[in-house]
Amino acid sequence: MILAMENLSKSYAANTVLEDITLKIEDNDRIGLIGVNGAGKSTLLRIITGIEQHDEGTLSVSNHAKIGFLQQNSGLESSATIIEEMRKVFADTIKTENDMRRVEKQMAECDTNSEEYIKLSEEYAKLHSKFEAQDGYQVEVKIKTILNGMGFADKSPDTVTDTLSGGEKTRLALAKLLLEEPDLLILDEPTNHLDFKTLTWLEGYLSEYKGALLIVSHDRYFLDKLVTSICEIERHKLIRYKGNYSKYLVLKKERLERQQKEYEIQSQQIADMEDYVRRNIVRASTAKSAKSRVAALERMERVEKPQGELKSAKISFEYDRPPVKDVLKVSGIDLRVGEGEQEKLLFDNLDFNVLRGEKVAIIGANGVGKSTFLKVILGKLPHTHGTIEWGKHVNATYFDQEGKQLNPDNTVLDELWNRFPTSYEQQIRNMLGGVLLTGENVYKKVSVISGGERAKLGFAVLMAERGNVLVLDEPTNHLDLDTKEVLDKALCSFDGTIITVSHDRYLLNKLPTRIVEFYPDSTVREYKGNYDYYLERRAIEQQAEQEIVQEKKEKSAKKTGYRTKQQKSADAKRKLRIKELEALIAEYEEEIGRLEASLSDHEVMSDYVKMNEVCQTLEEKKAMRSDFEDEWLELIEEE
């Protein structure tokens, strides 16, 4: 067990945040922590990590447990380079290696028969043993693996950390935390700023992680892939459900239905008993029986009246008139970003067609032009050639992930009312109330409300516009899990046409009938299915692409044409040398293994001279093996 909390509570003045929280985290737990914004998730994480103190209850942490915590959007701030920052994790191991080099140098300057040499040999043996126990030879490999996986493959390791973007700093902080390998890894919204490739790598890495995971995330696909239990904080209490996020949805519904049924059955039972008591308590013949029921009522453990689920937003999309079959025809358009010298051509001859009723999702790496494309087809950005034709009776409505279609100087109420000035105030307030924008919040300026509230206001506008084609740019960004579920259902039940850009893989698995991927090289690929189907097809395509590349290499080798006798002789010598090197490497591997095993032999350990000879031979063998491997790699690359 890593930690346990029992009846833990936390309040700020008169405001209760957490109440009677009981939770155990075992060594290999995979826990997803969820709850609406303000439910107390971050407070609980800060208590676990000791940043804040709880008011009541107990929190016990195992003496030797190491806890690592990545707070949301908490990037590294450092004047060190990327590689220097990563090596800080292995400071003790690197110090051990430096000490080994220092002792080696001292040994080289000593008489091998001197007492000082014997002492140095003993010190070196201990340092070497410690270095291997720390897996010192794998430090650089571990760093490179994590940095590549977290999307820093193309970034120089000598890049100064402070010059990175905010998203890159957050990713680097996560990379450093992964290298530290804590017993309990706590991640608060770790999927922010990650593209599909990095997300897939992170999911694979965390699925094999040896410690426990506690993850706060709004990424439902991520939770489905990784966690084996969901802990939900609701109305200050914590309830744990076995299974991933999708299983949690089923189990919570079943729990609420079961609790409601138990409450109704007990309420009827209590009502019947109380009625019996009223009718029989004063009658001599039945007074004893009535009193026994009174006692039973007093002993009865009452089932709490279910409070039901928290109030959810009401989102639904309707339209007045369907469009023609061919909703959109895009032919040979260009996509550009920037101006003047900063202008960049993304696509030069892009075709894109949509039929009535289709649900089309556009995906691709950041910066390939997905959002730009939406703005161009809606006429919000220009194009210099090609045609864009919307079908007859199309009423396209647009949701902008940045909320730029909203006036920041308007109040929430005025933003919607100004668009529909003939509506009564109560109608406008009802629309806003449907997306949980109520009370004083409707008088706040758009510029000061949260990202989630701006998104909900955007959906209120979208619903009021009654479009038969919804053009959506990252519609689930900034939303809590409950509102995401409501939006998913609304979009999936909408019988009109949807064109959406999204990184939400859970939504991409439920909504689209077609996925279109934009690539940095200006190519476009289409997949008729959901996200899982897309992954399956991409894996097949990538395998086929690799086979084509290999086939081209083989054909190229065969078509090299006439070779001189000297070339043929050199090629034969190279191949012979490769075989020799492979044999030598295998031989040295076996010898190194034997020498490493001998270091633990009592005969060697008790004899300083032998210990020194073995260590020196071992280092020499490793150096020779490394040289052979370098030569082998150079010869292989010449093929």
Give CB contacts under 8 A, 24+ apart, made by 553-559. Answer: 557/639
Task: Give the mean pLDDT of 370-375.
Answer: 94
Look at residue 422 in the predicted model and tell me its pLDDT: 92
Structure tokens at 8: 């833990």
pLDDT at 232 over 70: yes
Lowest mean pLDDT among 37-41, 308-312, 600-604: 600-604
Distances (CA, A) of 37 to 221, 358, 446, 480, 503: 19, 33, 19, 7, 21
Report CA 592 to chain centroid distance, whole Å. 41
Report CA 241 to chain centroid distance, whole Å. 21
pLDDT digits (tens, 9 = 90+) for 444-474: 999 999 888 999 999 999 999 999 999 999 9
pLDDT digits (tens, 9 = 90+) for 149-194: 999 988 999 999 999 988 889 999 999 999 999 999 999 999 887 8
User: What's the fold here for domain 326-529?
Assistant: Rossmann fold (3.40.50)
* Beta strand 237-242 pairing with 229-234: antiparallel
Give CB contacts under 8 A, 24+ apart, made by 15-22. Answer: 16/236, 17/43, 17/236, 18/43, 18/44, 18/47, 18/54, 18/233, 18/236, 18/238, 19/236, 19/237, 20/57, 20/237, 21/57, 21/233, 21/237, 21/238, 22/238
pLDDT bucket at 303, cuts 50 / 70 / 90: confident
Q: Please state whether the predicted TM-score (pTM) of the whole model is above 0.75.
A: yes
Task: Specify the higher pLDDT residue, 548 or 500.
Answer: 500
Look at residue 466 in the predicted model and tell me its pLDDT: 95
d(Cα 347, Cα 506) in Å, to the nearest integer?
Answer: 28
Look at residue 338 in the predicted model and tell me its pLDDT: 79
pLDDT bucket at 102, cuts 50 / 70 / 90: very high
Residue 305 CB-half CA count within 13 A: 3
pLDDT digits (tens, 9 = 90+) for 406-435: 999 999 999 999 999 999 999 999 999 999
Task: Specify the higher pLDDT residue, 8 or 336.
Answer: 8
Look at residue 605 in the predicted model and tell me its pLDDT: 65
Look at residue 478 in the predicted model and tell me its pLDDT: 87
Look at residue 483 in the predicted model and tell me its pLDDT: 93
pLDDT at 321 over 70: yes
Look at residue 558 in the predicted model and tell me its pLDDT: 62
pLDDT digits (tens, 9 = 90+) for 42-56: 999 999 999 999 999
pLDDT, the chain, mean: 90
In the chain, domain spans: 81-164, 250-299, 326-529, 565-637
Look at residue 639 in the predicted model and tell me its pLDDT: 62
pLDDT at 133 over 60: yes
Look at residue 416 in the predicted model and tell me its pLDDT: 94
Lowest mean pLDDT among 105-119, 166-180, 473-487: 105-119
pLDDT at 481 over 70: yes
